[in-house]
Structure 1
């Protein structure tokens, strides 16, 4: 049973913040079990991993590797295919520099979309600058949705990398990754997936989808900040270069500069990791699995449909993605600057984000330089949606100006 009241009781911030928190695409609240996992490391387990010849270090090292197993099971991967990073940005940069810069050459094409987050497009800009590859874009609808027909039409033999988000952080559409991977692989291209907005919200199976790389962040899925994951097919990870070297990444090196790196994933994890964050991520994964990702997706979809219907009834709102299926609702209040509207909503106890949301190419497509993003998660309620809608009704130029006086 999906018991929303029981779920909300697990999150101290829901009680402490006293706000209808709808900025979950930016970061999420943490359940008590995650907080406990982090504090338990500092109060009862503090030691380094993979280094100490004593019980405490051994125990923490085992828990750290257990976290790798838990994440692998969560996305249906092998533990050796899970690299712990600082977040989705580092994960996607690692692919661009560790694989793209090494293997792409002049004239190769990276295929992407205009809806991408900066973390999944800027690294490829840099790789193109260095190796002479080029970026091409898949045509999107006016609502920022990509069809499989448009993707097929954009594919050709020079495409070597397809880089796209499974769920756009602005438009909220779910891309058909299995079909995308099948088509890309027919052309010999690899698929690099930004999973920052999909892994926390929908069931993920990397073996079924066939995705080659997947990056995501812990803090967007009820885990701590400072930790993320790069999944990569093991054979590809073995070919890749790390972009950081140091303790823990090498098997040996000598005075002549000869270095023997460890196998993946360890060659990518130089230095002391964010141990407490990894243990917190393990707790977050276990918590999400206890609720069930299918249950989470279905509840969020129901909540999104409820919110979308009400938002479309407001005549002062321009709604950019009414047909998306995830909890991201992107809109503007007619005649009101996005930041002013978001500030007014704050006075009504609503926390949303305004701006371009790090997707700065998309503004040309939707013809809006700034938007307001309401992003729901499984601990939000219909009552909070009602509060949000009532606040939107009151968002006028006069009321927004009034908050500054």
Structure 2
């Protein structure tokens, strides 16, 4: 019996709504939560797959290997499940970068025009090399949402993001341009691995991945030229994080925001070697820096209990000048930067203690002022991990179908 695309979407939507809770919980409660794993729990890679390895530049494929131990919920609906290494571009300095990730293709016959692509932006998994979803059979919590998206008839890419999964670079945590570039280039890489893939694509993610999806939309018309972006979904996005600086200075960081800022500082120290970390860390943050920076292994074992002990003074900038410098760096990393190329759906919570509602309100207002088409949905009683993202599936289906998007932005008067 042939299963229609509409039936596949209907079946997947329930699983998708549940999976969104899992995905957005990646940086919700005390801190970005990542379970350590043993070598026996690591993903295994098999033989190289046939692909177009010939052309260089952003999105070019260096390698594509079969994933041997991927979650059966994903492998059971995929004709291709691969771990890839591809070329991308740093958003910090424009340098070429090698990035790893995973690519999945549906079973069956592609629709006319090819399989539509969804670049899925995962939530926070960590800031070090061993924090990559591609090295874990369950993609560090993303496998259920990936399975739902593949089952509904999409090629799905999951970039690890620069610095997660490969040696020789670092992860500029919450730098929007970098992760936006990484998502766009994962789409290019997918088209080199999956000949039946379409040029039409969407970005979809939560938390850090929500930032990545928003950034990819803004970059789609320039850096992403040659592809056809239809829209982006950002759930509880880390869009405008500039407020972390003032909150650190005033001692009003929430318990969730303290370990978040510590991971931001890990990346900033690499992106900006001139930054004096000792202007921003003392007490347990200075003493247990390596443990707080880890996402797996022995060092990460006590991270939750250590993060709960961070005091207001442990992350307070040493001087007003240090606060201003941090705010400047955070502004460089935040969104929006420019007008978006395609419609956006932004869903966020009024009780979010990680990414404060006023920060997201400000980012949406600035996007509207840029002329963006934004359907924003504030769920006043939701936090960061319990957001209801069920509307995302139907919204994406409409964008791929060419249905005009609704904008909640005020009409701009010339």
What range is the shorter-chain TM-score in? under 0.3
**Structure with greater proportional helix content:** 1
Q: TM-score, normalised by structure 2?
A: 0.26
Which protein shows a greater Rg? 1
